[in-house]
Amino acid sequence: MNYCSHCGNPVVLSIPPGDDRNRHVCSRCERIHYQNPRIIAGCIAVHDDRILLCSRAIEPRQGLWTLPGGFLENGETVEQGAIRESLEEANARLCEPRLYAMFDIPRIHQVYIFYRARLADLDFSPGQESLETVLFSEADIPWNQLAFPVIDRVLRHYFEDRMQIEDRRLRDFPVRTGAVP
């Protein structure tokens, strides 16, 4: 950031009174411009034992596979964002979304929040940001072609949890949390 969005004057990096880190502060009006992590809302959309993945039509990682998801918009809840992104990227309608995972990625200032939900129907198709949408069983997931490390981690947790539920070691899916280096 070079200029104040309020008055247009240059900003400087300085630690404001009462703060503990450098912030962009306007050299004239002294407005503090906070930069905070971005929230990515996504969904593990499930049909029977298969997961819906999208091949990305856009950078970064064009052509690689991901769960439907994207940046949360102002004015919507995280759940609404996950539902919207599933519709935008895969034309997928969801039933009964449940919070499943939250992973921080501090080095790129992002927080990923995933829901798991059933597909309402099988009438899904690629949206503008997807080249292809496919239901994959665990054995068929293109593990070496996943777009982002957080997607790999979420899917591995999901399949591990599902196996423990099937084996009756778990009664329900836990909410997974952590950080991705």
Q: Which of 88, 82, 105, 93 is nearest to 54 (CA)?
A: 88
CATH topology of domain 38-172: Nucleoside Triphosphate Pyrophosphohydrolase (3.90.79)
Say what the pTM is: 0.92
Q: Which of 179, 7, 24 is nearest to 109 (CA)?
A: 179
Spatial contact of 11 and 34, defined as CB atoms under 8 Å apart: no
Instruction: List 132's β-bridge partners, or say none.
Output: 55
Backbone angles phi, psi at 87, to 5 degrees: -70, -45
Instruction: List 66's β-bridge partners, or say none.
Output: 54
Whose structure tokens read 């939250």? 102
Looking at residue 159, its pLDDT comes to 98
Domain ranges across the chain: 1-35, 38-172
**CATH number of the domain located at residue range(s) 1-35 in this protein:** 2.20.70.10
Residues 165, 166, 169, 174: what is their CA dihedral angle, to the nearest 10 degrees?
-10
Spatial contact of 89 and 125, defined as CB atoms under 8 Å apart: no
Cα 85 to Cα 174: distance, rounded to the nearest angstrom: 23
Cα 165 to Cα 54: distance, rounded to the nearest angstrom: 26
Tens digit of pLDDT at every position of the chain (181 positions): 999 999 999 999 999 999 999 999 999 999 999 999 999 999 999 999 999 999 999 999 999 999 999 999 999 999 999 999 999 999 999 999 999 999 999 999 999 999 999 999 999 999 999 999 999 999 999 999 999 999 999 999 999 999 999 999 999 999 999 999 8
Looking at residue 95, its pLDDT comes to 98
Looking at residue 177, its pLDDT comes to 98
